[in-house]
Amino acid sequence: LVSRKRKPEDTIVNINGEAIGSGEPTFVFGPCAVESYEQVAAVAESIQSKGLKMIRGGAYKPRTSPYDFQGLGLEGLKILKQISKEFGLAVVSEIVTPSHLDEALDHIDVIQIGARNMQNFELLKAAGATNKPVLLKRGLAATIDEFINAAEYIISKGNDQIILCERGIRTYEKATRNTLDISAVPILKQETHLPVFVDVTHSTGRRDLLLPCAKAAIAIGADGVMAEVHPDPAVALSDAQQQMSIPQFDEFYETLQKFMKSYEIQ
Ligand code: PEP
Ligand code: MN
């Protein structure tokens, strides 16, 4: 059902007034994890001031080590809902198990399914049975075909509001946290009718590469870019190495806007 052969026209995912997949790139910024109301509000204010419509933030964090910060859970979702109301932003947040889905649906606007859960088939089916848009990340070592099949699990339950997100894959290269598979973007756009995002934060793991990779993503035809922003990255409870501070975010976004204008992308 996700195949472009079956449905030639692009699927547009409508979120908070943004038509994702309609040609103009859209952006999802926000902290890696929800840590406090004040922390998320500081980022939300900056996002809102740029006229953007979405914010991300993890309440359930799938960490590599069980001893690392696991997220605030339901308390984090409540903070996100409050932020959403105050700042008029749609909330994108990761859900890690079908058993959290019911309580989460009342708090978030977009269900993120993370790289570690790309083949959690029960979660994919449960998200497919909702009427919320789903942002599906590519698995850590998933082929494009496996990624497309994961989206197929969601759509097979009736939900076609799916955004695919390339977030880097595991290779032998150690210069970056993952290897951004930029060619996955046009391949996914040829093979499926779904919008495709690039997460520049988790693919690179390097602040200095966020801007060039975001430019590459837009130039190659991505429908959107995701990146992490934290008011004080040095003390972030997760991904301290790669989140942008708010002044860095301002500069990143301004430079990207200029880039898009110079190539008449918007
Ligand atoms: C995230 O976006 O918060 C995240 C954990 O990313 P990924 O699933 O791509 O590692
Ligand atoms: Mn992160």
Per-position DSSP letters for 89-109, written without gaps between them: -EEEEE--SHHHHHHHHTT-S
pLDDT tens digits, 38-90: 999 999 999 999 999 999 999 999 999 999 999 999 999 999 999 999 999 99
- Please name the residues in contact with 65: beta carbons below 8 A apart, sequence gap of 6 or more: none
Whose Cα sits closest to atom 6 in ligand 1?
114
Asked whether the CA dihedral 138, 139, 141, 145 is positive or negative, the reply is negative
Choosing from 65, 72, 91, 112 the residue with most ligand 1 atoms within 8 A of its CB, the one to mutate for a pocket test is 112
Cα(208) to ligand 2 centroid in Å equals 16
Burial class from Cβ neighbours inside 10 Å (0-12, 13-18, 19+) for residue 189 reads buried
Residues enclosing ligand 1, CB less than 6 A? 32, 58, 62, 94, 114-116, 137, 167, 199, 202
Q: Is the pLDDT of residue 132 over 90?
A: yes
Cα(75) to ligand 1 centroid in Å equals 19
Q: Is the pLDDT of residue 110 over 90?
A: yes
Choosing from 69, 93, 167 the residue with most ligand 1 atoms within 8 A of its CB, the one to mutate for a pocket test is 167
Q: Which CATH number fits domain 13-262: 3.40.50.300, 3.30.9.10, 3.40.50.720, 3.20.20.70?
A: 3.20.20.70
Tell how far CA 31 is from the center of its chain: 11
pLDDT score, position 152: 98
Task: List the chain domain ranges.
Answer: 13-262
Choosing from 92, 94, 111, 239 the residue with most ligand 1 atoms within 8 A of its CB, the one to mutate for a pocket test is 94
pLDDT tens digits, 39-51: 999 999 999 999 9
Among candidate residues 151, 116, 109, the one with its CA nearest the CA of residue 132: 109
Q: Is the pLDDT of residue 266 over 70?
A: no
Q: What is the pTM of this model?
A: 0.98
Among candidate residues 27, 17, 6, the one with its CA nearest the CA of residue 195: 27
